[in-house]
Amino acid sequence: MRVAAIDCGTNSVRLLIADVAGGSLTEVARRMEIVRLGEGVDSTGRLNPEAIERTRKALVGYAAEIAELGVSRVRMCATSASRDASNAEDFRGMVRSVLGVDPEVITGDQEARLSFAGALHGLNAEPPYLVLDIGGGSTEFVVGFERVDAAVSVDIGCVRMTERHLHGDPPTPAEVAAAERAITKVVDNALRKVSGHGAMTLVGLAGSVTTVAALALRLPEYDAARIHHARIPYDDVAKVTTDLLGSTVADRLDLPVMHPGRADVIGAGALILRVIMERAGKASVVASEHDILDGIAFSLA
């Protein structure tokens, strides 16, 4: 069955078109657009009309590709920003008009379970796993073996933490310290809830983690094949985090692996990853290019 999975988060909207048969998935196309749907939601509680329009334009392109490639079933999941917004119906109406399907505004728990299902695809590492999905508005913590044992979604993400704390360019030491205190408090609570300290393998998903991995690997350009399942030591994550938080947005844009839409928030994303590794006592993280999109695709089969 050829399916289309769409994940619309706080920072990006992504598409996976895949052929799914039994427990196997063959990727046909994978796309990502930074639309910053959740811009300002943390402070206003509403989706910005300009952000909805940016998302609409991305979805128009996705709809054309879905039609061209003969997709049988489509599922779109909308996560943190659309959960938090008081005008989410404006967003849902736009999606219906473009894609012909309703977006599912999934809960944090559903998001965590879909991410876990996607992350385990093709993974060869020692269980139990602690899977992290660091998004723009939230981060999901999931622990399990072949299935989920415990999951929690918390309101720390690269966009949310940047908007709350990291206002300087580069952020000041006081701003970084305030962000780290806030992140640490939430992370400690999340790790207790899912018993994350007992996991043998830490797996990190989404753009903050894969960008940090690309920088740690010193890649000359973003290379998903080299990033996927790369194991990145804590010391390398810490160095990349320090470098990012000490640089300006313009400096980050000069990095060959940096997506332009991620440059202003990657410092916060890296800090979240570093704090989680530190508080969970993990010496390394396995970066995964398989994530909630893959989980959505499997759910359609």
Is there a single domain that holds both residue 204 and residue 144?
yes
Is there a single domain that holds both residue 277 and residue 145?
yes
Is there a single domain that holds both residue 123 and residue 269?
yes
In three-state secondary structure terms, 137 is coil
Give the residue ranges of the chain where pLDDT is below 70: 80-81, 83-84
For the entire predicted model, the pTM comes to: 0.85
Which pLDDT value is given to residue 46? 87
Structural domain boundaries, residue 92 = 2-106
Q: Does residue 204 form part of some domain? A: yes
Of 226, 202, 229, 199, the residue nearest 214 (C-alpha): 226
Give alpha helix (H) positions in 120-172.
158-164
Asked if residue 138 lies in contact with residue 157, where contact means CB atoms within 8 angstroms, the answer is: yes
Which pLDDT value is given to residue 83? 67
Which pLDDT value is given to residue 28? 95
Q: Does residue 113 form part of some domain? A: no
Is there a single domain that holds both residue 29 and residue 68?
yes
CA dihedral 43, 38, 268, 118 (to 10 degrees): 140
Which pLDDT value is given to residue 137? 83
- Domain finish residue from 47, 73, 106: 106
Angle ∠(203,295,143) on CA atoms, nearest 5? 40
Is there a single domain that holds both residue 152 and residue 71?
no
Helix (H) or strand (E) holding 33: strand 24-34
**CB atoms < 10 A from the CB of 18, how many?**
24
Domain with 45 in it: what CATH number?
Answer: 3.30.420.40
Q: Does residue 91 form part of some domain? A: yes
Of 165, 195, 196, 168, the residue nearest 182 (C-alpha): 165
Q: Does residue 111 form part of some domain? A: no
- Domain finish residue from 72, 106, 140: 106
Domain count for the chain, please give it: 2
Is there a single domain that holds both residue 142 and residue 283?
yes
Helices (H) and strands (E) in the chain, counts: 13, 11
Q: Does residue 170 form part of some domain? A: yes
Is there a single domain that holds both residue 87 and residue 123?
no
CA dihedral 168, 173, 179, 181 (to 10 degrees): -170
- Domain finish residue from 106, 140, 160: 106
Is there a single domain that holds both residue 141 and residue 98?
no
Helix (H) or strand (E) holding 17: strand 12-21
Q: How far apart are CA 47 and CA 35, in angstroms?
A: 12
Asked if residue 283 lies in contact with residue 199, where contact means CB atoms within 8 angstroms, the answer is: no
Which pLDDT value is given to residue 3? 96
Is there a single domain that holds both residue 143 and residue 267?
yes
Is there a single domain that holds both residue 268 and residue 144?
yes
Q: Does residue 299 form part of some domain? A: no
Domain with 202 in it: what CATH number?
Answer: 3.30.420.150
Q: Does residue 171 form part of some domain? A: yes
Q: How far apart are CA 208 and CA 193, in angstroms?
A: 23
Is there a single domain that holds both residue 75 and residue 147?
no
Is there a single domain that holds both residue 182 and residue 95?
no
Residue 39's identity, in one-letter code, is: E
Which pLDDT value is given to residue 80? 61
Q: Does residue 300 form part of some domain? A: no
Which pLDDT value is given to residue 106? 84
